[in-house]
Amino acid sequence: MTFKKTLIALAAAATFSAAVSAEELSIAATPVPHAEILEFVKPMLAEQGVELDVKVFTDYIQPNVQVDQKAMDANFFQHQPYLDEFNAGRGTTLVTVTGVHVEPFGAYSSKIKSLDELKDGGVVAIPNDPTNGGRALLLLQKAGLITLKEGSKITATPRDIADNPKNLEFKELEAATLPRILNQVDVALINTNYALEAGLNPTKDALIIEGSDSPYVNILVARPDNKDSDAMKKLSAALTSEDVKDFINEKYQGAVVPVF
C-alpha cells in the first residue's frame, strides 16, 4: 500500500470510529423557536460527540407521548404547568431537565387595533388545552375584559368566568389552528411559537402580551431514566450557553426571552 493510500485508509478509519462512537439524541420539538434553537446547537454537540436528531411536531400531545414511549429521548416545546397537567392526566412521569426561555403569550386580531375596540358579543378564540386556555383567560382578566371566579388559576376554563361585561363569546380550539382562523374571530390568544411560525411579531402585533416576567418557562423534558445521561447534560449545557442567549436575543428581538 502506498503512503497516500495509507493516509486515506487511516482517515476513513478515523471517520468510521467517530461515527460509531457518536451518541445519538433524538428530540421532539415544535418548529419555532424550539427546533430552530436545537438546530443552532447541533454543531456544538457534534463537537462533543453527540449527534442531535430533531423531529418537528405541530401539536402539543405527541412530543410527550413519543418521549414517554421511548420513541424519542426528550422534547422541547412546553412549560412546566402544561407538563404537570399532562403527567397528571396521562399517568406519565416525564421530568424537567432545564429551563431555557419564555415566550410571552399574546392576543392578536386582524379586525381591531386595540382591545378597546372589541365590541359587545365579540368572538374570542383561546387554546383548548387546559393550561394554555387558562393562561389566555388570566391574560384577558389582567386586561380588564373578564373577571374569573375567585381562586381561578392556570387550569381555568370559560366556565370559570364570573363577570363578562362585553358578553364575549369564547371558542376553544387547538392551539396550532389559532393563527389560521384569526380572520374568522375578533381576537385570538396565540402561543408565541405558533404566532412566530405564522409570521406574526409578538412585540409589534400583539394587542396585549405577557411581560418578560412570565412564569411559563419553556423547558427541556426527558424521562427519569435518561434525564442524567451524559448526552442530555451536554444538550442542557448547550441550551443554556451564552451563544444560545445571544442567538435568541438577536433572532427573536424580545418575542422569545432567555431565562438563564
Q: What pLDDT was estimated at residue 214? A: 79
pTM listed for this prediction: 0.83
Q: pLDDT tens digit string along 60-89? A: 999 999 999 999 999 999 999 999 999 999
Give pLDDT, residue 212: 66
Cell of 158: 370559560
* Alpha-carbon span 61 to 100, nearest angstrom: 20
What pLDDT does 215 receive? 81
- Tens place of pLDDT per residue across the chain (260 aa): 554 444 444 444 444 444 446 899 999 999 999 999 999 999 999 999 999 999 999 999 999 999 999 999 999 999 999 999 999 999 999 999 999 999 989 999 999 999 999 999 999 999 999 899 999 999 999 999 999 999 998 899 999 999 999 999 999 999 999 999 999 999 999 999 999 999 999 999 999 999 767 789 999 999 999 999 999 999 999 999 999 999 999 999 999 999 99
pLDDT the model gives residue 211: 76
The whole-number pLDDT of residue 59 equals 94
Q: What is the largest CA-CA distance in the chain?
A: 87
* Cβ density class 25-41: b for 16+ within 10 Å, e for less: bbbbbbbbbbbbbbebb
